[in-house]
A and B are shown apart, each in its own frame.
Chain A
Amino acid sequence: MTCDSVTKLIPLYYYAELTPEEEDRVEQHLHECSGCTREMDRQRTLAAALNSRQSGLPPRLLEDCRADLMAAIQGGAPRRDPVKGPWTLFLEALGATFGGVVRVRQPLGALSLIAVGFFAARFIGVTPGREGISQAGMAPEDVFSTVRSVQPDAGGRVQIAFDETRRRVISGGLDNQNIRRLLLAAAHEQNAAVRVESVDLLKGQAAASEVRDALLNAVSHDSNDGVRLKALEGLKPFASDPAVSQTLAQVLLTDHNDAVRMQVVDLLVARRDDSTVGVLQNVVQREANNYVRLKCEKALKDMNASIGTF
């Protein structure tokens, strides 16, 4: 094989996209050619640099997307362009007038919903006897509403769909389904203290797949270090589950917190699983924390794997 043909195959070799025969030929050439070995090193460095660019999702983005989607579907997502109503025309006119603020349309929309919700709560919160919006006997301060859609019809009437939130206090054991459901929801709350507390309670229930999924989500995406550490504790007994170990590998590569990575590396190396070799090699190349790097190196040696990526 010539150097020219090997150079062309190096990216595919790195990504393990060659046939076994091609792979053998490239490896043989690399053993004999220092120039192509340097090319291979550059490929590895490029890949490691690109790994550092991968960013997590902004907090709450996933939840917001899910809420938007479900609201669109439940509000009757249009199958084709609908006839434009006065509300749409008004919004379009507003958009045309303030063309420069198109980029902030969503935040403005959210703010307007909050504002509408605020006033709606005051007008409708205590209306008794009306189906769907009645909260007889409820103090108005306990009811909060958010308008999800406004649909005028040709007859001058308007249909408004809104979510109504009422503050309640309930108590119960962790085995109670309602309590667990609320804890799962609380694990996504904006308030970090609520998330820490909820995940702390949920971590003992990780045998249930819905709880495990919530812990996986928290350990991958929660912006708070404490929440991620608590979630890790809950996942410990399930480190051999493929979905858990896959997520832990991702966390080891991307989490910025040393304590989190130290916990994760302990869990991953304890398994001595061949499927983690690639991740451990990757970590050895880029990890700044000595404990994590040495743990990975030792695990690779114990598994008779090379320290570098191939």
Chain B
Amino acid sequence: MHRFTLCLCAVTLAACEPPISVVKFTTWGEEYIEQGIPTKMGMEAGFEDGWAVTFTKFLVILKDVTVADGQGQVASKQPGAKAFDLVKKGPVEVYAASAPAKRYDKVGYAIAPDDNAEATNIEASDLALLKSRKASVIVVGSATKGGVTKAFDWSFTNATGYEDCERAEMGGKGVVLTVGQETTVQLTVHGDHFFYDQLGGDANLRFEAMANADANGDNRVTLDELAVVQLTSLPQGQYGTASVANVRNLRDFVTQNVRTIGHYDGEGECVPRSR
């Protein structure tokens, strides 16, 4: 078929639509979600304040993976939604799109609740949990410092679109589909973003304020407990809200941070928009 197409091009000397190719979108939570986020050691990134975090569940619903050209012409869009547990070994396939082999500048996806999300590598009970909580993201895990361990089980209902994704390198806009090759693009989820201490500017990873939010001392930090902690009670220079309105407490803050967990091919970025 491809040979025929090429021959036709040669005969007519005209521009031809390129042959169909495939781009496979996968998702991965990287070592931070699969193995945990360590304490900062020298040049090695990690928590500034001595804490370390591990996840036992990192449930996320991915949907609306879209491939479009520079003019916004959609070549392929993921039907439905899929739920993943990113603590399990990845990467895991999300969606395989077929489209003519050429450059697509606009690629995006969404992390959003969906009552009809399908299971992938996720336990049925966890999928039910996502649906019952109307959640897009559920993180379950614990933070440790010295002999102290604080557990957390947080659900978020944010619906966030990640648009105009770019890889973290030159010319990394969108994706280029090539003839005869299957292209793989990773929708990377950054688990450490929950613990950023700034909504704008340079941020560090911190858990101390969250650990201190455990008001009842049961070593479980709930979102309700985080909601009690006003940012004004925290040191200046930490938990700055920048341009985000109505962020008053740690629950608001971590909920806002959820919007930035979606990335593209590792360190690549997308434009996050509330849905």
Q: Does A associate with B in a complex?
A: no
